[in-house]
Amino acid sequence: MSSDQTSFRIVVLASGSGTNLQAILDRLHGSRGVEVVGVGSDKAEAFALERARSAGIATAVFPRDDHPDRRTRDIAMADWIESLGADLIALAGYMQLVDPSFVARFRDRIVNVHPALLPSFPGLDAIGQALEHGVRLTGVTVHFVDEGTDTGPVIAQRAVEIPANCDRAELERAIHAVEHEIYPEAIGMIAAGRVRIAGPDSRRVIVDQ
């Protein structure tokens, strides 16, 4: 590895095309002391891996079927992440639930971006859930990952209005554009040491100005 050992080191996990990975690469990687040191996936064909290779970043694939169970797979993935000296793990369209042992090993060092204003619409197809529910506002949440599904402490949120006669594709574009803004912003704040959880019994996140 030629990476600067004093930088803030991020591993990104992605299952799909990796547009949030690309936003992190474009807006953070190699600047402000932040470096993406690895991109992992559960899918060998994820285009996110291609983006990583193009950027000269280490990649690894941890398919579910290559391991007896999720826990074993996540231990292998965690070992790889630790070998890279990661300070933070950023889920970016990673479509697998991570094992509780993985969460415990990287407590408060895993973040995720979710396409809704949590706690509204956790889980799969948050955009579809919001459209079906008929809300006028939805948005994007960046949060720490805990053992629940999209239940961890909230770091950043931004609203997106659902216009009248909303086309789903249009709403998806608007939400993804916001993701690509606030996810790198939030990760940059964490890298700068400005983000902490208020206390052991709190789920409030303090962002120092």
**176 counts as catalytic:** no
Nearest distance from residue 150's CB to a second copy, in Å? 12
Does 157 help bind a second copy (rule: CB under 8 A)? yes
Q: For residues 21 and 195, which CB has a smaller minimum distance to a second copy in the complex? A: 195
Nearest distance from residue 25's CB to a second copy, in Å? 25
Does 117 help bind a second copy (rule: CB under 8 A)? yes
Does 18 help bind a second copy (rule: CB under 8 A)? no
79: nearest Cα among 143, 147, 11: 11
Q: Given the rule CB under 8 A, which of 12-20, 62-70, 100-108, 156-164 is the region that contacts a second copy?
A: 156-164
Q: For residues 21 and 140, which CB has a smaller minimum distance to a second copy in the complex? A: 140
Beta bridge pairs of residue 114: 141
Distances (CA, A) of 163 to 47, 92, 131, 134, 174: 31, 26, 11, 11, 11
Nearest distance from residue 107's CB to a second copy, in Å? 17
Q: For residues 106 and 144, which CB has a smaller minimum distance to a second copy in the complex? A: 144
Q: Which of 29, 114, 143, 180 is catalytic?
A: 114
Residues 130, 121 contacting (CB under 8 angstroms): yes
Does 192 help bind a second copy (rule: CB under 8 A)? no
Beta bridge pairs of residue 139: 159
Nearest distance from residue 20's CB to a second copy, in Å? 19
Nearest distance from residue 192's CB to a second copy, in Å? 15
21: nearest Cα among 57, 71, 62: 57
Residues 166, 69 contacting (CB under 8 angstroms): no
Distances (CA, A) of 100 to 18, 40, 104, 149: 24, 18, 6, 11
Take residue 122 and report the two structure tokens written for it: 């956790």
209: nearest Cα among 195, 198, 197, 199: 195
The neighbour count for residue 162, using CB atoms within 10 Å, is: 20
Choose, by CB under 8 A, the member of 30, 63, 100, 119 that binds a second copy: 119
Does 108 help bind a second copy (rule: CB under 8 A)? no
* Site residue total, a second copy (CB under 8 A): 29
Q: Which residues are catalytic?
A: 114
Binding residues vs a second copy (CB under 8 A): 117-121, 131-137, 139, 153-159, 164, 198, 202-207, 209
